[in-house]
Amino acid sequence: MRQRVIVVGSSISASDLVLELYSIVDGPLYLSQRTPKPLLASFWALPNIKVKPTIKKLSLENNGTVEFSDGTTLSDIDKIVFATGYRLSYPYLQPNPVTESNRLAGFYQHIFKIGDPSLAVVGQVCKVPYRKSLYKLLILGFLGAGSLELQSLRVSSSGHSSGLSWKRITTSEYQGAGGVGEREAAIQRFYICLPCACSGF
Ordered per-residue pLDDT tens for the chain, 201 residues: 589 999 999 988 899 899 999 999 988 999 999 998 888 999 999 999 999 999 999 999 888 899 999 999 999 999 999 998 777 888 888 888 888 888 888 887 778 887 777 788 887 765 555 667 777 777 777 777 776 666 544 444 444 443 333 333 344 444 444 444 554 554 444 443 343 333 332
Q: 52 lies in a domain?
A: yes
Q: 149 lies in a domain?
A: yes
Q: 101 lies in a domain?
A: no
Please count the structural domains in the chain.
2
The confidence score (pLDDT) of residue 150 equals 65
The confidence score (pLDDT) of residue 130 equals 60
Q: Residue 24's domain spans which residues?
A: 5-82
Q: 100 lies in a domain?
A: no
| Whether residue 121 is found in the same domain as residue 185 | yes
Q: 112 lies in a domain?
A: yes
CATH number at residue 12: 3.50.50.60
| Whether residue 77 is found in the same domain as residue 153 | no
Q: 16 lies in a domain?
A: yes
| Whether residue 117 is found in the same domain as residue 46 | no
Contacts by residues 32-39 (CB-CB < 8 Å, ≥ 24 positions apart): 32/6, 32/7, 32/8, 32/68, 33/8, 33/9, 34/10, 35/10, 36/10, 37/10, 37/11, 39/128
| Whether residue 113 is found in the same domain as residue 189 | yes
